[in-house]
């Protein structure tokens, strides 16, 4: 084929991948961790990472690491993510979770009450049923039939206090990014503040194991004082979590309704596929949300966190205060503050 201008264009030199290559050449190199590496949302992810990393450093698989990491925080009753989390408006704690492995196998559970480890229920659905997602009573029945213990459903002491306080006004006003207000006081291992507050109720995890495979999980008690039956982004594949073993994985925290609007984590992974670094991909997804409604964007928090197949990681959020934890082959974990669209 003669190398004419027309052929040059037809061959795709100005197509998206070409643009992406140019873009990635001009970006400064993203931080890169040596595998095995695990990233997770918030400062409290550090304790979660430790559990996940110990599995992977013994040659274990990322899918086991992200499940057990999630379980470790779901089991922390004085916390915010599992059954110790804040209840909905009817005083019932309902959990959402999902999991995704390197072969794009997915499992998800939503609006599940009285079961401690929704991430493991999601994995069971993934591995033993023809379905992806079970919700509510059906999910509960499935869990019990599969040996998960039904808990009493009683609120933890701290959640009870928070709920009683909430009942005084019964207003649904998610606190923007309460973690930012705590500035650096996020606890590790996670627990409520001395005043009982904790609006930070989601743990998203993405791991790259020593075999080079990626998996992820996302688990939450959802937004405190939500409507009964409300499901957020966390159990939605492409919402709270997405993994593509050729490209990378992403997870999110914040106002789930907004993440769902743009299929947030799927978008982040697709942006990485086009050549963007993890942080840039997260930033572009955030900018898309802001563009939809710049005024409304001032009123909520969304943070994205991503890990590439190469071990590069990065995050970006709408409001300042979104932190994330990274633990790599050195075994030492670090907490980072994500850059944000609004600066204060
Ligand atoms: C939700 N995304 O249910 C979750 C809430 C969250 O820190 O991330 N809180 O919408």
Give distance in angstroms: CA of 83 to centre of ligand 1.
15
Tokens at 129, concatenated? 């049923």
Question: In the prediction, which pLDDT does 81 show?
Answer: 87
Indicate which residues carry an active-site annotation: 202
Cα separations (Å) of 196 from 16, 84, 181? 49, 11, 14
How many other C-beta atoms lie within 10 A of the C-beta of residue 1?
A: 6
Distance CA 201, CA 79 (A): 8
Question: In the prediction, which pLDDT does 176 show?
Answer: 59
Question: In the prediction, which pLDDT does 290 show?
Answer: 97
Q: What is the pLDDT of residues 158-183, one digit of tens each?
A: 889 889 998 998 888 776 555 433 43
Question: In the prediction, which pLDDT does 9 show?
Answer: 39
Q: Which of 41, 45, 223 to mutate to test the pocket of ligand 1 (most atoms within 8 A of CB)?
A: 223
Question: In the prediction, which pLDDT does 12 show?
Answer: 41
Question: In the prediction, which pLDDT does 18 show?
Answer: 47
Question: In the prediction, which pLDDT does 177 show?
Answer: 54
Q: Whose CA is nearest to atom 6 of ligand 1?
A: 254
Backbone angles phi, psi at 192, to 5 degrees: -70, 160
Question: In the prediction, which pLDDT does 190 show?
Answer: 46
pTM metric for this prediction: 0.88
Q: Which of 73, 93, 233 to mutate to test the pocket of ligand 1 (most atoms within 8 A of CB)?
A: 233
Which residue ranges of the chain lie beneath pLDDT 70? 1-27, 175-200
Question: In the prediction, which pLDDT does 175 show?
Answer: 66
What's the maximum distance between 2 C-alpha atoms anywhere in the chain?
Answer: 77
**253 close to ligand 1 (CB < 6 Angstrom):** yes
Give distance in angstroms: CA of 67 to centre of ligand 1.
18
Please, which residues have CB within 8 angstroms of residue 55's CB and are 6 or more apart in sequence? 61, 64, 65, 68
Residue 170: left (phi > 0), alpha (psi -120 to 50), or beta? Answer: left
Beta strand 241-244 pairing with 313-317: unpaired
Domains of the chain as residue ranges with CATH? 30-340 (3.60.20.30)
Tokens at 184, concatenated? 């650096």
Q: Quick check: 240 and 66 in contact, CB under 8 A?
A: no
Please, which residues have CB within 8 angstroms of residue 80's CB and are 6 or more apart in sequence? 86, 190, 192, 198, 199, 200, 201, 221
Give distance in angstroms: CA of 257 to centre of ligand 1.
9
**277 close to ligand 1 (CB < 6 Angstrom):** no
Give distance in angstroms: CA of 10 to centre of ligand 1.
45
- Return the H-helix or E-strand segment holding 305: strand 302-308
Number of H helices, E strands in the chain: 11, 13
Question: In the prediction, which pLDDT does 94 show?
Answer: 97
**177 close to ligand 1 (CB < 6 Angstrom):** no
């Amino acid at each position: 084929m003669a190398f004419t201008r027309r052929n040059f264009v037809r061959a795709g030199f100005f197509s998206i991948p070409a643009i992406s290559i140019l873009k990635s050449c001009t970006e400064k190199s993203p931080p890169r961790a040596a595998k095995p590496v695990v990233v997770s949302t918030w400062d409290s992810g550090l304790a979660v990472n430790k559990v996940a990393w110990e599995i992977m450093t013994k040659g274990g698989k990322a899918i086991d690491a992200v499940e057990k990491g999630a379980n470790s925080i779901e089991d922390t009753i004085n916390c915010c993510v599992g059954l110790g989390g804040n209840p909905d408006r009817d005083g019932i704690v309902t959990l959402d979770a999902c999991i995704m492995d390197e072969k794009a196998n997915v499992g998800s559970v939503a609006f599940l009450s009285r079961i401690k480890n929704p991430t493991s229920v999601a994995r069971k659905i993934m591995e033993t049923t023809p379905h992806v997602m079970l919700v509510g009573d059906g999910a509960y029945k499935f869990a019990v039939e599969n040996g998960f213990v039904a808990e009493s459903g009683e609120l933890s002491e701290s959640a009870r206090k928070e709920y009683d306080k909430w009942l005084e006004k019964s207003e649904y006003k998610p606190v923007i990014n309460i973690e930012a207000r705590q500035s650096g006081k996020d606890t590790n291992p996670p627990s409520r503040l001395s005043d009982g507050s904790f609006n930070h109720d989601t743990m998203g995890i993405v791991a790259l194991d020593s075999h080079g495979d990626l998996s992820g999980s996302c688990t939450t008690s959802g937004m405190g004082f939500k409507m009964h039956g409300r499901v957020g982004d966390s159990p939605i594949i492409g919402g709270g979590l997405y993994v593509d073993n050729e490209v990378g994985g992403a997870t999110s925290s914040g106002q789930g309704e907004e993440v769902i609007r743009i299929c947030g984590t799927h978008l982040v992974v697709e942006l990485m596929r086009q050549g963007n670094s993890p942080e840039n991909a997260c930033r572009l997804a955030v900018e898309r949300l802001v563009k939809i409604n710049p005024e409304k964007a001032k009123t909520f928090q969304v943070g994205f966190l991503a890990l590439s197949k190469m071990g590069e990681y990065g995050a970006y959020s709408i409001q300042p205060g979104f932190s994330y934890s990274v633990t790599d082959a050195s075994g030492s974990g670090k907490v980072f503050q994500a850059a944000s669209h609004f600066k204060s």
